[in-house]
Chain A
Amino acid sequence: EIVMTQSPASVSVSPGESATLSCRASHTVSANLAWYQQRPGQAPRLLIYGASTRATGVPARFSGSGSGTEFTLTISGLQSEDFAVYYCQQYNFWPPFTFGPGTKVDLK
């Protein structure tokens, strides 16, 4: 099973600032990595797939990069609706599909 880790566990950011979230896989997952946003009380929402491709309707301030075992989600110019928990997920080697534990982005 591929174990996903995320750092930091939480980060406090002011609106308009940027946030950089990291995700690491225990073994290479190539570019088969997705990012999700989950606001409180809501279902997760796909942001990024293929490590760097934005899903339909996702604003350009969200960008993903990386391959192999190290990945980054950058949120530029954070807006109020971006304060949420972000999860990475690998789909290179499955079952099982595995998620990281999440990074909470909250208001500074």
Chain B
Amino acid sequence: QVHLVESGGDLVKPGGSLRLACAASGFTFRDHYMNWIRQAPGKGLEWIAYISSSGDTIHYADAVQGRFTISRDNVENSLYLEMTSLRAEDSAVYFCAREGELGYYFDYWGRGTLVTVAS
């Protein structure tokens, strides 16, 4: 079955950096678009980044453009999010999510990893 497991969340100071990872299993990773979606404490869902199956097409939300970098390793079946210049408002649970088979919805999600940005 499809399994997505995020890791790398931590407490980091404002201006700091962090790298999140998402390990995928149970499906052919290289065939699927992937995304990062976050949820601030007590708040709703916010999509932040998309990467195509081959990695040649990438999109970001305005809130993270220029600070975050999404990437993938189709040999290691892993998705990454490099986060720099972190701000308090980046504090959230970060989910990786797989694009659906029949459209750009999100059919499988990991359990998330918590990023806290505070001094």
A residues adjacent to B (C-beta < 8 A): 32, 34, 36, 38, 42-46, 49-50, 55, 87, 89, 91, 94-102
* Interface of B toward A, CB cutoff 8 Å: 35, 44-47, 50, 59-62, 95, 100, 102-112
Q: If A44-B45, A96-B47, A102-B44 touch, does A55 touch B110 (CB 8 Å cutoff)? A: no
| Contacts across chains A and B counted by CB atoms under 8 Å | 66
Contacts of B62 in A (CB 8 A): 96
Identify A45's interface contact among B60, B102, B103, B109, CB under 8 A: B109
Contacting pair B61 A49 (CB below 8 A): no
Measured CA separation A36–B45 after assembly (Å): 10
Q: Chain A contacts of B103 at CB under 8 A?
A: 32, 34, 49-50, 91
CA distance A42 to B100 in the complex (A): 19
Q: What DSSP secondary structure best describes chain A's contact surface? A: loop
User: How far is it, in angstroms, between the C-alpha of A54 and the C-alpha of B112 when the chains are bound?
Assistant: 24
Q: Check A96 against B44 for contact (C-beta < 8 Å).
A: no
Residues of A within 8 A of B50 (CB): 94-95, 97
With A32-B104, A34-B106, A49-B102 as contacts: A95 and B45 at CB distance below 8 Å:
no
